[in-house]
A and B are shown apart, each in its own frame.
Chain A
Amino acid sequence: MTEFNPTILAFCCNWCSYAGADLAGVNRLQMPPNVHVIRVMCSASVKPEYVFKAISQGIDGVLVLGCHIGDCHYLTGNHRTAKRIPVVKKILKDVGLDDKRVRLDWVSAAEGEKFQQVITEFVNEVKALGPNPLRGVRM
């Protein structure tokens, strides 16, 4: 059997975490190739539906990365993200999925290494969880 290779989606805000990801690239920080970034302007614009849609279709893990609290380019956007994602995780749990498939974290534009660390950790966590049980399930 081949090793489980998760497919992971990451929402990165334009100003901090996407820039942090860029910095990781500029510094050639190596990390597992499982994560696919969708750029949004602010982490607060990530609808819970996006996360549910991804997970329900078999994406193995979803990351939501924003600016650190207090550093949001849009003043207080990430405060909403900070409240919203725990609810998203709770709903996942309620429907019988492991809430570790969703992770919220803060990566600043200066934190290329933090981006690398979050990606590496999350990929390993999701690998440990195994494939999303909803993989291949037709909704």
Chain B
Amino acid sequence: MTRIGVFICHCGHNIASTVNVEEVVEYAKTLPGVAYAGHNLYSCSEEGLGSIKRSIKENDLDRVVVAACTPRTHEPLFRRACEQAGINKYLFEFVNIREHCSWIHAKEPKEATEKAKKLVAMGVAKAALLKPQTEGESAVLPAAVVIGGGLSGLAATSSLVEQDIETHLVEITDRLGGLLCDVTTVGPEGKDARALIEEMVRRIEASPKAHIHMKARVSEVKGFIGNFEVTINDCDGPVKVPAGAIIVATGTRELVPTGEYGFGRYPQVITQLDLEKRLAKGERPNRVVFINCVGSRQPGREYCSRVCCNVTLKNALKLAKASPDSRIHVIHRDIMSSGIAAEKLYKETSDSGVKFLRYGLESPPEVIGDGDGVKVLVFDETLDETIHLEADLVVLAVPMVPPDDSETTAKLLKVPRDKFGFFLEAHVKLRPVEFATDGVFICGSARWPVSARECIWQGMAAAAKASIPIKEGKVVIQAITAEVDPDKCAACGNCVLACPYEAIEIVEQDGRRAAKVNEAQCKGCGTCVAACHNDAISQKGFTSNQLTAMIDALVKSALEASR
């Protein structure tokens, strides 16, 4: 027989003003397997935890049930207290009688008390069947792979090698720097893009920990956090490298316009990156019309590409300054240039004589051929008339889109993408730059179009997060993983298909085939449990007999209450 200790928390008035705590304590004493029941004013306080620990010793308890608030916040605290008193921390069960009872039935003290009793009965029933567990640990290889040698990938790599972490940088092209290779200056401050890249590459190349793979791509990723095996294909053929973590920095590319505004028909109509290349050669055309939001912020591609407005502004300003008789027009839908430096850039551009004209989605400008040049017809909303602008060059601000192989990358790493094809991080606010898949991180424009500055931030952030398990050298695996009873397993493979993490495989053991769970890969969702027809697979801490015992306890206590 078990010796369960039940501790009902008053939580000051939070529980006790609605639920009759003493009544629940007396009820708990009648439950099977309960050796002790008591109450605390605040169970989570130093005093409360102390009294639980003392009670475990004095009453020789072997399991603990605390009925208080939510396990989502307080479970680790009580588990630790159990451990300190010599009870395995997995022999603890939490019953929520605050969020799920006293707070939501504040005007029904009698009913709330009855409900609390049932919830406690359910918790006690489960606790009786809990088993001690040991948390697994999985070693983390002291190496990382960064996919993509653009600015964010370089920032991540340089941060990793500076921390003395063996890092493989995989770049698909023959040059490092990504999109920035074709850009003159970055940021409203106008920093030289090439110098920025060269400085980073120099730092990386100086480290013996850096391994740069050029004209290479990742062709296979196996394993899990701490123990990935990444196959890198370069000109020397495939090479398998071990890694504790992987950073995705596959970046972005410029959308190729599909004939909008005469692109492809008139040589004068070019994209922003084309203009950057011309500026790099020293070209400074006089009459230039910029058209913003070409192919973005419209049905089908609703997002704002975020960087194009600032790029338009810095180049418009550059051209306006180049010659006193330049005529530069920016045709836009809205100017998105937030931030102190960008706002200053907008003001300066505006003051420099660059004319801004606004168009609506329903009345876009028109580009027509005009002898050697082109003419842009734009309906000015303010003047309420169509304006004709002669131009030597029309520059289209097209959005950044995911690279063509982003789907392949997503499949390789089993990470999600949004409807536009950009990668989705685990949680924008709670887990930025992390994928939901442990050990895989994301940074830069592969996630969403970002500025050079943000690429560096995110690259460094991803490197910092990736270095946590690497520096710890191990990851702890919560003991809620699935386990297989090979005697019951028919090796049907249903669980293999059900597992979202590919943590289960059918293996041959002692001459028979059965499913086997890789603990380090298992996230403890229990999906496989419900998929098994033979009841051969169970989840620690959420076993079928534990959950059905809870159902039985509810039935029993409801029956008693109705008498």
Contacts and interface: CB of A to CB of B under 8 A. Distances in A.
Contacts of A75: 416, 436, 500-501
B554 A9 contact: yes
B115 A36 contact: yes
A63 interface: no
Nearest to B105: A33
Nearest to A136: B559
A23 to B, nearest CB: 8
Interface in B78-92: none
Interface string B95-116: 0101111011111100110110
A118 interface: no
B484 to A, nearest CB: 15
B544 interface: yes
Contacts of A74: 500-501, 523, 525, 527
> Which of B72, B98, B111, B122 has its CB near the most chain A CB atoms (within 10 A)?
B72
Interface stretch (B252-260, B272-280, B545-553): B545-553
Interface stretch (A24-32, A89-97, A99-107): A24-32
A65 interface: no
Interface residues of A, number: 44
Interface in B185-215: none
Contact of A41 (B99, B115, B539): B539
A9 B551 contact: yes
Contacts of B39: none
Give the contact-size bracket for chain B: 35 or more
Given A36-B119, A44-B530, A30 B107 contact: yes
Given A21-B99, A25-B98, A14 B72 contact: yes
A39 B498 contact: no
B303 interface: no
Given A14-B72, A84-B530, A24 B99 contact: yes
Contacts, number: 130
A80 B103 contact: no
Interface string A1-14: 00000010100001
B364 interface: no
A37 interface: yes
Nearest to A19: B72
Contact of B104 (A19, A28, A57, A84): A28
A117 interface: no
B133 interface: no
A84 B118 CA distance: 28
Contacts of A49: 544, 548
Interface of A: 7, 9, 14, 18-19, 21-22, 24-26, 28-33, 36-42, 44-50, 53-54, 57-59, 73-77, 80, 84, 116, 136
Interface of B: 70-72, 96, 98-101, 103-108, 111-112, 114-115, 118-119, 122, 416, 436, 480, 498, 500-501, 523-527, 529-531, 539, 542, 544, 547-548, 550-552, 554-555, 558-559
12 contacts: A9-B551, A18-B70, A22-B96, A37-B100, A38-B547, A38-B550, A41-B526, A45-B529, A48-B530, A50-B548, A75-B416, A80-B498
Given A25-B104, A74-B501, 11 more contacts: A7-B555, A19-B72, A21-B99, A30-B104, A30-B105, A37-B119, A50-B544, A54-B554, A54-B555, A59-B551, A80-B527
